[in-house]
Structure 1
């Protein structure tokens, strides 16, 4: 199945044409540059995409490899794989469940679409392209009849409040709207709900290596 969607979004001055589609081999150099632009230090540079990872996304599960263009210019991407997830066993790391981003453990018989990554170039974030990419992945979940979309969300605002509360308390405060987090607040606005906090999920100084496991359930299941 190939994916294609066209939108017209207002950029503050005029409507611009936006296309969401599966990314291709020729997109790889730009996608790597977008990662570098979207996740500057202190985010670990070794976690930026490399060519082999992106080739695996395209060949192993092209349905989970989406990108967004604004008037023909690549502005971001979102990647997922299918896994067989047991909701009674939440503990895992990003490296384990995504095979360090290479997705060689993609399971075509899995019950869950697991988000590997989402990134939007900073200059395009006012268009809420991340929200539209997320919606597109929800459509993949529905099309394939899966139970849910799932993924670990970084909590980059946590490090500044770690002396005042633990990670679970911080997530609860964000959910209640008492605190705002650049990632978790965005995921909540996309319709994702938290089902737990995972320690040592990903090497991430700003999140102190914690992540919130965020779910979207297929309403047709």
Structure 2
């Protein structure tokens, strides 16, 4: 089980926080986080349900973390282990995560794949998403796998889709000419681009694209 206590900051005010493995007692809070984090037009059927959450804590508890503030979970991150081949990188969220049930989790996988990360909107200014991502980097190192990987939505793309391709939009974000709520956040967390994937997720704002982003284990060789 994972647990660390630290402070997050509300402007200059330190706030006690705990990053820990989530448990069945957190399920109601975790579902509420999903509902508030991904409002329509995001498909409601993609919010967590209790069966999925049970699979997370049973199959791969090391990849099921939350941030607790004032006695309740207010942010979460979930992952599974896969055996990733960079030469065959194209996939959908549904395929790689088993629709969020992670029954395809591979204890011998070489990659920690992020299924989901979210935080209650009221707490996002506290930097909880970056804290959770950094915590997952620690899991990568502890498990000795090659990388952390995941598909990052590009929800800002719908504002520019009439004037540029998805490839051009991503390039503009990476060059700092545009800012995307998710892609820019992942870059701030230390993730780097691998491949732009079409049809990754039913996500109208992203026009169903996602940028596959990784963080390499710095204690392992690149090959």
User: Normalising by structure 2, what TM-score?
Assistant: 0.97
- Secondary structure of 2:131's aligned partner: helix
Counterparts in 2 of 1:58-97, with a 5 A limit?
A: 58-97=57-96
Distance 1:122 1:21 in 2: 20
Which residue is 2:208 aligned to? Answer: 209
Is residue 54 of structure 2 the alignment partner of residue 55 of structure 1? yes
* Cα-to-partner distance string for 1:14-51 (whole Å, 9 max, x where unaligned): 21101000000111111111100111111110100001
SS at match of 2:138: helix
* 2:40 aligned residue: 41
CA contact under 8 A between 1:154 and 1:184: conserved in structure 2? yes
Structure 1 residues 80-115: Cα deviation after superposition (integer angstroms, max 9, x where no partner): 000000001111000000000000000000000000
TM superposition shift of 1:166: 1.0
Helix, strand or coil: the match of 1:164? coil
Residue 22 of structure 1: aligned partner? 21
**Take 2:91 and 2:11, find their aligned partners in 1: how far apart are those partners?**
41
Superposed CA RMSD: 0.8
Is the 1:38–1:120 contact (alpha carbons within 8 Å) kept by the matching residues of 2?
A: yes
* 2:91 match: secondary structure: coil
Contact 2:202 2:208 in 1 (8 A): yes
How far apart in 1 are the matches of 2:174 and 2:13?
33
The 8 Å contact of residues 22 and 63 in structure 1, kept in 2 or not, is answered as yes
Q: Following the alignment from structure 2 to structure 1, what is the Cα–Cα distance between the partners of residues 187 and 179? A: 11
Q: Within 5 A, what are the aligned runs for 1:92-107?
A: 92-107=91-106
Does the CA contact (< 8 Å) of 2:34 and 2:48 recur in 1?
A: yes
Which residues of structure 2 form unaligned runs of 5+? none
Residue of structure 2 equivalent to 1:8: 7
Alpha-carbon separation, structure 1, partners of 2:8 and 2:109: 34
Is structure 2 residue 191 aligned with structure 1 residue 192?
A: yes
Mapped partners of 1:124, 1:27: distance in 2: 17
SS at match of 2:187: helix
Post-superposition offset of 1:13: 5.6
> Can you list the C-alpha shifts for 1:156-193, whole angstroms capped at 9, x where unaligned?
00111112111111111101110000000000000000
Counterpart of 1:91 in 2: which secondary structure? coil
Which of 167-176 and 95-104 deviates more?
A: 167-176
Query: What residue is the counterpart of 2:176 in the other structure?
Result: 177
Structure 1's unaligned 5+ residue stretches are none
Residues 198, 211 of structure 1: 8 Å contact kept: yes
Between the aligned partners of 1:73 and 1:202, the Cα distance in structure 2 is: 29
Aligned length: 220
Give the TM-score normalised by the residue count of structure 1.
0.98
